[in-house]
Structure 1
Amino acid sequence: MRLVSYREGGEHRLGVVDGDELIDVTAGVGERNQPGAVSPMRALLSREEPVAAFLEAFEGRRVPLDSVQLEPVIPDPGKVIAAPVNYRDHQAEMQEDFHIDALGVFLKAPSSVIASGQTVRLPYTDRRFDQEGELALVIGREARNVSVDEALDYVAGYTMLLDMTMRGGEDRSTRKSFDTFTPIGPFLVTPDEVGALDELQLRTWVNDDLRQDADIRDLIWGVPQLIAYASSVMTLRPGDVITTGTPAGVGQVVDGDRLTVEITGLGTLTAAVSSEDAVVCPTNGARRGPRPPEDVTPVRSR
């Protein structure tokens, strides 16, 4: 099953994708468009009834998929939890001394999320910005201190994410939390449709240049271990996003670039890049921190 968040008439809506159409199921979770209310997607994930059982029993009006304005698949995540250096080839290209088992996780600002098809806005004229394509998951029920064996039971579904990054010595959460720096979507795909995670392949293009080509099985910490660890640090709640880290092939993006991420069975995430209204950076971390290669790491042959 594939779910989308979208806007219609100024309201947040929720749909189930069926071919070239979507079935609007917003009414089934309540018209939650009052100030301070959670999005329909968050409301759906917070229900005690299993998501699939509810959606299969609900009949809503049909809308052409290409006629709606997509929103981030989770427009209002409570948290965006990110995994630093979770592929060994990315560790090598960044010349990092440590990877995730020494670094733990970090947080991105929920306000940084945008929808597939929207624009990443580079804030500064004098800093380097890179693309990082990633597999992400959305939590479906509250989780605290869950085991690795039980971790996947807490996943509502999977999606794609671009972890846009300013290079430098500032804290990761700062360099990755600018508004528009987390394109996510377009779909939330339920685990039954995704299948075995080890069989998924991730590819990222900048314009027509294939920059990243990786197998999800190459994660240092796989999805279950990542969920288990995150839940030992903080309580995970429905609608929280965990993104699993990026493989080798990160590289600089500039004004006018087109970004595309594809993961097996999850669809296509796109974003444009703009430097309109960029200014000079007020911090001086440009010459600090991990040093990415000047040239993009070549995509390995298969």
Structure 2
Amino acid sequence: MRVCVYNDQLLGALAADGTIVDLTDLVPEHTSVGERMNALITGWDSLRTPAAARVAAGGGTPEAEATLRAPQPRPRNVFAAPVNYHKHQQEMGGDAGVYAGRQILTAEVRKGFLKAVTSIVGPDGAIELPWPDRRFDHEAEVGIIIGKTASRVLAEDALDYVYGYTPLLDITLRGEEDRSYRKSMDTFTPIGPYIVTADEVPEPENLDFWLTVNGEPRQKSNTSYLIYGIAKLIEVYSEVMTLQPGDIIATGTPEGVGQILPGDTVVLTIPEIGELTMPVVSRP
């Protein structure tokens, strides 16, 4: 199922007839707007069947007439894997790398970092660059949405704790500031347009994906090349932190990262999950 947040922060799902059906009333009436997706994910075991019935029936808002927003606007946490592809490690620290001459440590050592939840933006927004004299890069990633409380989960069981997947961009300021600061600015975590539930992604550890800027190919890879795969990331993070329903894990990016500028259009395509298109602008 492809679930989303649309129009006036309604919960929805893409129906068989190409419309978006409203699921908002499936969560408790007084759930705050920002918590609706968390409530849907938390109650999914009992809500899946009525949601599927609406998807089958259709008759909702035509997709082309809906405003699709960030499909998970308010997770408790956004975890991210630093340098989780070997070729990205090489391009960051090689002779011509951004941090040439330095030892670039992978996720095996650095493990992870946190991004601000307020950095999330959906396909209805834009990537806003705050300063004209600094370099900002695109990073194509897969977003993992946790489906149930996970603590000390083993890798062989980890995928059972996933609710779904979404395209995710980890926009990055290059420089000497701490990683969380450089990646947590407003609009620096675009996601969407849908979360595709895990039952429709049978091989998450073997997903092709690619990114273009203004139609120019920049990044192309597969999740099978991750240093820490999706299941391993859940194991590593849940060993020391309790993952909660709705939390997001960003997998890390492959080689091919590059600078983005105001006026650019960034498109991340993951065939099994969807296509995220984001314009780049100067921050007002």
> Are 1:205 and 1:259, in contact at CA under 8 Å, matched by a contact in 2?
yes
Q: Is 1:208 matched with 2:215?
A: yes
Q: Which residue of structure 1 lines up, in the alignment, with residue 100 of structure 2?
A: none
Amino acid at match of 1:3: V
Q: Is 1:152 matched with 2:159?
A: yes
Q: Percent identity?
A: 43
Q: Is 1:82 matched with 2:80?
A: yes
Distance (Å, rounded) in 2 between the aligned partners of 1:60 and 1:39: 25
Q: Is 1:15 matched with 2:12?
A: yes
SS at match of 1:230: helix
SS at match of 2:29: coil
Distance (Å, rounded) in 2 between the aligned partners of 1:269 and 1:192: 21
Q: Which residue of structure 1 lines up, in the alignment, with residue 136 of structure 2?
A: 129
Deviation of 1:25 (Å): 1.1
- Matched pairs, number: 272
Distance (Å, rounded) in 2 between the aligned partners of 1:51 and 1:233: 30
* Structure that is richer in helix per residue: 2
Q: Which residue of structure 2 lines up, in the alignment, with residue 39 of structure 1?
A: 35
Deviation of 1:48 (Å): 6.3
**Structure 1: runs of 5+ lacking an equivalent:** 278-302
> Are 1:117 and 1:269, in contact at CA under 8 Å, matched by a contact in 2?
no
Q: Which moved more, 1:232-241 or 1:242-251?
A: 232-241
Distance (Å, rounded) in 2 between the aligned partners of 1:23 and 1:39: 19
Deviation of 1:195 (Å): 1.7
Q: Which residue of structure 1 lines up, in the alignment, with residue 253 of structure 2?
A: 246
Amino acid at match of 1:4: C
SS at match of 2:45: coil
Deviation of 1:60 (Å): 7.9
Normalising by structure 2, report the TM-score: 0.91
Superimposed CA distance per residue, residues 25-67 of structure 1 (whole angstroms, 9 cap, x where no aligned partner): 1111133464xx6432111111163453342245786111121
Normalising by structure 1, report the TM-score: 0.86
Amino acid at match of 1:88: H
SS at match of 2:191: strand
Cα RMSD after superposing both structures = 1.7
Distance (Å, rounded) in 2 between the aligned partners of 1:16 and 1:193: 14
**Structure 2: runs of 5+ lacking an equivalent:** 94-102
Say which of 172, 179, 189 aligns to 2:186. 179
Deviation of 1:98 (Å): 1.4
1:54–1:232 Cα change, 3 Å: farther
Amino acid at match of 1:5: V
Q: Which residue of structure 1 lines up, in the alignment, with residue 242 of structure 2?
A: 235
Say which of 90, 108, 114 aligns to 2:115. 108
> Are 1:256 and 1:274, in contact at CA under 8 Å, matched by a contact in 2?
yes
Q: Which residue of structure 1 lines up, in the alignment, with residue 6 of structure 2?
A: 6
SS at match of 1:145: coil
> Are 2:140 and 2:268, in contact at CA under 8 Å, matched by a contact in 1?
yes
> Are 2:128 and 2:282, in contact at CA under 8 Å, matched by a contact in 1?
yes
